[in-house]
């Protein structure tokens, strides 16, 4: 007997602290880390990301015990960078990256998600710098990212996955394509976040079909079109937009997950697809029911 649902056997589904409203290493409005680990396992996920460095325990032995005792495994760590600012920021960047990379490697993961710095603050919405980079800053961003990829690969055996993100300089289709065209495909690949890309007007299926060899990792996320329309019209910063509910659980938003997952499966490579629903801040009892429903939905898609 054959199933009507396609088997997405190259897609490994997980979740992340972000889906529990976690954006910062410490914050009184966030779910405690033990509760996150308990609930992500209870919701049926096997893979997790580390989230902001310092949220989960940073001692590898302790974290291995906490994660393993719940039947979980780590797919990636996450770092934030400002490489467009040039060589002056390299030492501080590497200090942060090396901490996260060491823990990521110790947990048996092989990916490091790299998020560019925000041009406006995600908590206060204050504009920190201009929205558009200069030509020189684009060169710094490209060369700095390639250097980071090289160093992380040589020293930690990890591959970097650059995450286009709302309110950063790698956001729209134009910016993402400019970044990809300026960087070495043998070093720099993308973490495609379907929600952030839709938030910034991009088409995830088109990106996968056009730059498939550069897609090394997925974040699964949807946006509420009605809320997004209001956000775009008013120029609302990302942090307040999240508090308005711009990111929603599938299948209630866009992009549709099934075509994205089918396109990703068609690449013929193993990919992590980590569920992230930005919900900072959220009531502590809100994430688990959503996580259960989302996992059930993704199983229905064949993932």
Q: In which domain, by residue range, is 142 found? A: 11-301
Neighbour tally for 242: CB within 10 Å? 24
Domains of the chain: total? 1
Mean pLDDT of the region 38-51: 98
> 239: buried, middle or exposed (CB in 10 Å: 19+, 13-18, 0-12)?
buried
Residue 279's SS3 state is coil
Mean pLDDT of the region 76-80: 97
Q: In whole angstroms, what is the distance from residue 297 CA to residue 224 CA?
A: 17
Q: Is residue 5 part of a domain?
A: no
What is the distance, to the nearest Å, from the Cα of residue 125 to the centroid of all Cα atoms in its chain? 20
Residues in the chain: 303
Mean pLDDT of the region 221-239: 96
Q: Is residue 126 part of a domain?
A: yes
Instruction: Look over the chain and give the mean of its residue pLDDT values, rounded to a whole number.
Output: 96
Mean pLDDT of the region 147-169: 98
DSSP3 helix / strand / coil % (the chain, rounded to 5): 45, 15, 40
Half-sphere exposure of 188 (CA within 13 A, CB side): 21
Q: Is residue 151 part of a domain?
A: yes
Q: In whole angstroms, what is the distance from residue 158 CA to residue 170 CA?
A: 22
Q: Is residue 2 part of a domain?
A: no
- Provide the pLDDT confidence category of residue 5 given band limits of 50, 70 and 90: low
Q: Is residue 4 part of a domain?
A: no
Nearest to 267, CA basis, from 210, 221, 220:
210
Q: Is residue 131 part of a domain?
A: yes
Q: Which residues contact 9 (CB under 8 A, 6 or more apart)?
A: 265
Q: Is residue 1 part of a domain?
A: no
What digits encode the pLDDT tens for the residues 82-140? 999 999 999 999 999 999 999 999 999 999 999 999 999 877 778 999 999 999 999 99
Predicted structure pTM score = 0.96
Mean pLDDT of the region 259-271: 97
CATH of the domain at 279: 3.20.20.150
Q: Is residue 3 part of a domain?
A: no
């Amino acid at each position: 007997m054959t199933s009507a649902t396609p088997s997405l056997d190259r897609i490994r589904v997980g979740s992340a602290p972000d889906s529990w409203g976690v954006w910062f290493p410490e914050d009184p409005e966030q779910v405690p880390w033990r509760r996150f680990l308990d609930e992500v396992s209870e919701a049926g996920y096997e893979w997790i990301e580390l989230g902001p460095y310092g949220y989960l325990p940073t001692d590898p032995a302790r974290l291995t015990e906490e994660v393993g005792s719940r039947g979980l495994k780590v797919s990636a760590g996450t770092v934030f960078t400002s490489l467009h600012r040039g060589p002056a920021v390299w030492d501080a960047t590497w200090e942060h990256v090396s901490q996260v990379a060491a823990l990521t490697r110790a947990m048996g993961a092989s990916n490091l998600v790299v998020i560019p710095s925000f041009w406006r603050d995600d908590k206060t919405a204050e504009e920190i710098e201009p929205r558009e980079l200069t030509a020189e800053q684009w060169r710094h961003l490209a060369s700095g990212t390639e250097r980071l990829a090289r160093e992380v690969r040589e020293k930690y055996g990890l591959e970097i996955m650059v995450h286009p993100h709302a309110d950063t300089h790698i956001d729209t289709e134009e910016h993402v394509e400019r970044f990809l065209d300026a960087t070495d495909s043998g070093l720099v690949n993308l973490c495609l976040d379907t929600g952030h890309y839709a938030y910034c007007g991009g088409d995830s299926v088109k990106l996968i079909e056009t730059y498939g060899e550069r897609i090394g990792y997925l974040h699964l996320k949807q946006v509420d079109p009605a809320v997004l329309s209001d956000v775009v019209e008013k120029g609302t910063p990302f942090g307040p937009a999240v508090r308005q509910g711009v990111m929603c659980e599938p299948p209630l938003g866009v992009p549709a997950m099934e075509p994205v997952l089918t396109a990703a499966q068609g690449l013929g490579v193993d990919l992590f697809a980590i569920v992230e629903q930005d919900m900072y801040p959220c009531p502590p009892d809100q994430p688990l029911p959503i996580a259960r429903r989302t996992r059930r939905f993704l199983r229905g898609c064949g993932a």
